[in-house]
Structure 1
Amino acid sequence: MNAIEVILAMLAAVVASGYLARLSPLSLPLPLPLVQIALGALIAGVFHAGVTLDPATFFLLFLPPLLFLDGWRIPKSGLARDRAVVLELALGLVLFTVLGAGFLIHWMIPAMPLAVAFALAAIVSPTDPVAVSAIAARTRMPKRLMHILEGESLLNDASGLVCFRFAVAAALTGTFSLAGAALTFLWLALAGVAVGAGTTLAISLGQRWLAPRVGEESGSSILLSLLTPFAAYLLAEAAHASGILAAVAAGITTSYVELRGRTTAATRVQRAAVWDTVQFTLNGMMFVLLGEQLPRILQGAMASVEQSGHLSPWWLAVYALAINAGLALLRLAWVWVSLRLTMYAARRRGEAVRKPHWRLVVATALAGVRGAITLAGVLTLPLLTPAGEPFPARDLAVFLATAVILISLLTASIGLPRLLDGLELPEEPAERQEEDLGRRQAAQAAIAAIEQAQFHALREAADADVYANAAAHVISLYQHRLALDGSVPGDTDPEQLRKADRAEREMRLAGLRAERETLFALARQDRISDHTARRLVRELDLMESRAR
């Protein structure tokens, strides 16, 4: 069985995992990554073969598109509103976790060098929003809490991976300078963000210049969006900046460029479907690949345990449970202290503060699920040192990171639904108000545009009554949305119906274009969030595709 056939089998396993995960009862949800890991181990057992990827290649193939998509789709208004809490979790908690968990790991496993222990702590510090969303889909979780967790995961991916990079460099060279690391971090961050944003802007300007001259092909535009994160990543790495931050910045910039509304509806609909498929495939492939390598990783981890003086393989379980307990306690302590400081600062500003229920605090700590980023990062640990010797305790570090992913997934999938069950959550009217504002003003703009289109059609078309009836029909639909009275005229003659259908389609398209332009304008003015605008525009895009 050659490598290509194994990869095809892994892709089939990703497809099968989506169905198998849905077979689990709602009372005991089965996380999708666990199913994919099990299928990967099954592939390794059946084929007795595996796929060995160079760590740098693995990092390049999987991380840029996932980070780009996170930056693209995360609600920016919620991120700005809760920026203080997000930064406390994404930056402060990461450093707190690296120090606390790093010393804990080295104390438990003296055979693992301190630099490698810090690298392991750094790579298990980022949380995974995809895993949390999959678990939260089966239970009620406050949207604001989900937005905070998504913002945290977006930024702690970058901070955790940068810390991981420094720790690995220290393990390879045996030296570490705090001042040098601080300066390097500034360059990595600032240059990475600049390269990522610049890449997206340059591609957008190029498309804007080409489209009026040669037209726009949906396939080319979608392929270009898929290549954007790789371009940002490679350009940043060539400039010795952070490719991770470049991919994130490229995604965030893309979300703002998207608000200009220059992409066609068909392209947006097709692009969203392609990116959803890419996200599902990449996440699934990483976990299947982990399961495929799990037997070999376990053997190497057992050898590392023997070097530490423990002959029983059960010490692996002890290490994994202890690290997970340490991570949970560190996160809970940070969340509690961070909440107290935030409430204190709000009271000093004279703001009304509502103390959250203790179960929400524990849920915030429990929702720190590790996933794809942790897995992709730990698999990039070098295979050899510069001296040509095996990287110290590499298999043990990969195994422990894998165990952290599995245990955190199980803990959250079992604990979160029970923790939040029956909890009365506060109402969050802001999103509903934004949606109402968007729909109302878009409908008003659509009526004005249809009236304008009707005026031009009546001057140029021979069948003026057909266009008048079509315009009245479409306007009545918008008036119904605005809670006004309207009538729906009809006709039974087939030829007239066909003419009415063509005229109505023109009126509908005119109204949809006006709605979309208004929604983009409202988002640019920060009167509605980009998340709300994107959801409403997607509805309009689907309507336009159906109308066409």
Structure 2
Amino acid sequence: MEIVESIILILSLLIIANIISHYFVSIPPSLLQIAAGVLAALFMHVRVSVDTDWFLLAFIAPILFNDGNNFPKRELWKLKGPILGNAIVLVIISTLVGGVFVKFLIPSLPWATAFTLVAVLSPTDPIAVQSIAKKAHIPDKLMHLISGESLINDASGLICFKYGVAATVTGAFSLQNATIDFFHISIVGALVGAVMIWIFNGIRLYLINQGVDDSILHAIIQIILPFIIYYVAEDIFDVSGVVAVVIAGILNITSSRNISSFTPEIRLVTSRTWDLVVYVLNGIVFVLLGIEIPFAMEELVHNDNINTFYATILAFIIWIMLVVIRFVWSYIYTTFSNNGAGKVTIWSKTRLYDCLMSGISGVRGAVTMVAALSIPMTIKGGAPFPSRTLLLFVASAVIVFSLLGATIIIPLLTKSSAPVAYRGNTFMSDKDDMDNDDDDDDEDITPIEFTQKEANRLVLEKTIKKLRNEMDDGVPAVYSSVIAEYLYDIRNMGVRNTNTQVITRQISKRRVKGKKDAELWDICFNCELDAVEELYTNHDISDDSYDVATRKIAKYKKEIVHRRYNSTVEFFYNYFRRTFQQIRRWIYRSVKYDDIKQMNQDSIKISIAGAKKALEKLQELNESEHEEFTDNLIYIFQRHYEDRLELLEGRYRGRSPQFSSDRMALEIKALSYQRAFVQDMLEQGKVSKATANELRQNINYSEEVINMDVD
């Protein structure tokens, strides 16, 4: 019963703090949540025993998984150098340099204990700085760097802390064992996370392939993933669960890749559920932190050997030291890493401000606190752990100082006064009214002419007609892209009538949906083969490139014509095959880049020539009005080859910010047309009120997903 009461109380404090934060927008919600915890501990005598293992499992694992999942993958790769530098090298430097400085400040402190204190303060916490980021308008690049390093430095910081504690307790330290252990638990932890998320991704895709598209079910699977992965990594393989969940989050299938496999409803429900979970977990972490601070101070006040005022000044100096170390490291790193022309510029005012902001943005938080609380009470022989009370107080005070410092100084550096936004409540704008009218007394009893599927098909067809009429007045490429997606939807609806599996919105040589598809692919492949032969005859490609291209096309033709797999066997066969090819391609490109340069150039020539030949043939079929191929099917194939051609020729507008913006605006416009058509059918008595509401709800789901992608 005490656990239930504690949970209710903590959630109540979280709600109160977040309500207050809406009236005091200049104060980050994290600080108000800490204050709520402090008040609860002082006046309500609330005490929560925080165990390191369950805290990391229950709070840190899902939060880091979500951060990894939402982290921009392109930015992560682009900033891999500074992220790894901050997450590993900076943590080690901070521990070593900071440990020496702390020993200088407190000569009576054992060396191992001094290093332990700085190690526990090394990991940064993006959860805290996120609430400051919107108000302060921290540059995106810096925010990506802080978030990226926090995904990794928890592991490096905790490992340094672990060996600092071990050295204090046992009196012995082995640099060799620590180094080996660091690489073992990190690398194996990453492998465990990658393998497990690969398995779960396959399971989720298979469920979708089999028609299991329950949005609540998929949201629950998503939520439970980090807990399972963390537990398996820590308790079964005895490696870093933190690293495992971070890698799993980065490789999770819902991180923009293959996202078209999931319906808008699944994406929306999963995202909203994660919003709720992260919102609550973030808040609870800081409320718990606030609850622990008074008890740390109480122990210090009652300790006659330590002066409370001096300990507070000491914590402030240590925070300044951490900011300075981070600033100096950032300035040196950026000075020598941004010299593309071989010219080193020592002084730069802009770089000075950026590095100063980076130093102050290194806010400490939950991991620091839970690590400090896990410091053992005694060492070998039964003696008390040296200065444990001081360490706990300093860790708590540094967390508060770092939050206050970032709150006060960063807005001054950025000269921004925008209102504070808290992760979870600014995910997107409020959802439109979904027109869910549950009044059964007003149920329309007019005979129904269309079912929901028939009405949906009619709405899509009318929308396509409307968009085609407008195409001449807009950007043809944008309209073609949106129209193609609606054609995919219509075509897939026809397939669903005879197949319960969920169909994706992609045309692919590995996803043949019928005899007409296979015949049209066969025609296109013949065109591609002709193009290869022509290039080879003209000596435009090498013998190896010719052999590889002809074998690949022949293989695709064989798979399409002689497709005899069971659907389950085919799914897992393709899933394993794609994974193997991706790994092989990555390894091959890493170790034999020069060897494949010529083949890559030939491959691009072959693909361009093949796409042009196929488009010529498709245009010929379209103009001759072949009855065996519908206009929509030819149109879809044309869009497929046109997109390929644009990508290969370096003019892929789908990746242009302007194209994406125009396309998004047209998608929203098309959804407004759909709403109007639904209303027309309802007024004409062609659909029931319930069917109209279902159609509107699906339209709203799609619109929410578009808004979600914008955010």
**TM-score bracket, shorter-length normalisation:** 0.7 to 0.9
Answer whether contact 2:489 2:505 (CA < 8 A) is retained: no
Question: In the alignment, which of 181, 188, 192 is matched to residue 189 of structure 2?
Answer: 192
Whichever residue aligns with residue 331 of structure 1, its letter is: R
1:264 aligns with 263
- Stretch of structure 1 that moved more, 102-111 or 293-302: 102-111
Question: In the alignment, which of 203, 207, 220 is matched to residue 206 of structure 1?
Answer: 203
The reply on whether 1:365 has 2:359 as its aligned counterpart is yes
Cα deviation, residue 64, structure 1: 1.0
Question: In the alignment, which of 457, 468, 471 is matched to residue 464 of structure 2?
Answer: 471
The CA RMSD measured in Å over matched residues stands at 4.3
Structure-2 change in CA distance of 1:18 and 1:177 (3 Å): same
1:455 aligns with none
Whichever residue aligns with residue 60 of structure 2, its letter is: L
Question: In the alignment, which of 317, 323, 333 is matched to residue 322 of structure 1?
Answer: 317
After superposition, the C-alpha distances for 1:57-79 in whole angstroms (9 at most, x for unaligned) are 22222211122112111112112
- Stretch of structure 1 that moved more, 383-392 or 160-169: 383-392
Distance 2:161 2:9 in 1: 32
Distance 1:210 1:399 in 2: 50
1:239 aligns with 237
Structure-2 change in CA distance of 1:296 and 1:177 (3 Å): same
Distance 1:409 1:211 in 2: 44
Cα deviation, residue 179, structure 1: 0.9
Distance 2:456 2:32 in 1: 61
Cα deviation, residue 193, structure 1: 0.3
Equivalent positions of 1:346-357 (< 5 A) are 346-348=340-342, 356-357=350-351
Structure-2 change in CA distance of 1:97 and 1:544 (3 Å): same
Q: Which sections of structure 2, spanning at least 5 residues, go unmatched? A: 418-452, 480-485, 494-502, 509-638, 672-696, 705-711
Larger radius of gyration: 2
Answer whether contact 2:50 2:373 (CA < 8 A) is retained: no
Whichever residue aligns with residue 319 of structure 1, its letter is: L
Distance 1:11 1:516 in 2: 48
Whichever residue aligns with residue 382 of structure 1, its letter is: P
Structure-2 change in CA distance of 1:265 and 1:235 (3 Å): same
Question: In the alignment, which of 186, 211, 218 is matched to residue 215 of structure 2?
Answer: 218
2:133 aligns with 136
Structure-2 change in CA distance of 1:463 and 1:397 (3 Å): closer
Distance 2:324 2:334 in 1: 15
Equivalent positions of 1:295-314 (< 5 A) are 295-303=294-302, 306-307=304-305, 310=306, 312-314=307-309
Distance 2:365 2:253 in 1: 24
Equivalent positions of 1:522-537 (< 5 A) are 528=655
- Stretch of structure 1 that moved more, 362-371 or 183-192: 362-371
Answer whether contact 2:137 2:416 (CA < 8 A) is retained: no
Distance 1:463 1:269 in 2: 20
* Identity over aligned pairs, percent: 30
1:248 aligns with 246
After superposition, the C-alpha distances for 1:399-454 in whole angstroms (9 at most, x for unaligned) are 2112111111111111111112289xxxxxxxxxxxxxxxxxxxxxxxxxxxxxxx
The reply on whether 1:22 has 2:22 as its aligned counterpart is yes
Structure-2 change in CA distance of 1:385 and 1:528 (3 Å): farther
Distance 1:484 1:71 in 2: 33
Whichever residue aligns with residue 332 of structure 2, its letter is: V
Larger RCO, structure (CA 8 Å, separation 6 or more) = 1
Q: Which sections of structure 1, spanning at least 5 residues, go unmatched? A: 424-459, 487-502
Whichever residue aligns with residue 146 of structure 1, its letter is: M
The reply on whether 1:334 has 2:338 as its aligned counterpart is no
Distance 2:329 2:411 in 1: 23
Structure-2 change in CA distance of 1:419 and 1:515 (3 Å): farther
Equivalent positions of 1:12-411 (< 5 A) are 12-25=12-25, 29-213=26-210, 215-237=212-234, 238-255=236-253, 259-261=257-259, 262-303=261-302, 306-307=304-305, 310=306, 312-344=307-339, 346-348=340-342, 356-385=350-379, 390-411=384-405
1:482 aligns with 475
Structure-2 change in CA distance of 1:485 and 1:200 (3 Å): closer
1:431 aligns with none
Cα deviation, residue 195, structure 1: 0.3
- Stretch of structure 1 that moved more, 236-245 or 356-365: 356-365
Cα deviation, residue 382, structure 1: 3.4
Structure-2 change in CA distance of 1:114 and 1:301 (3 Å): farther
Distance 1:392 1:302 in 2: 17
Instruction: Give the SS at the match of 2:138.
Output: coil
Whichever residue aligns with residue 389 of structure 2, its letter is: D
Answer whether contact 2:50 2:370 (CA < 8 A) is retained: no
Distance 2:361 2:288 in 1: 24
1:412 aligns with 406
Whichever residue aligns with residue 9 of structure 1, its letter is: L
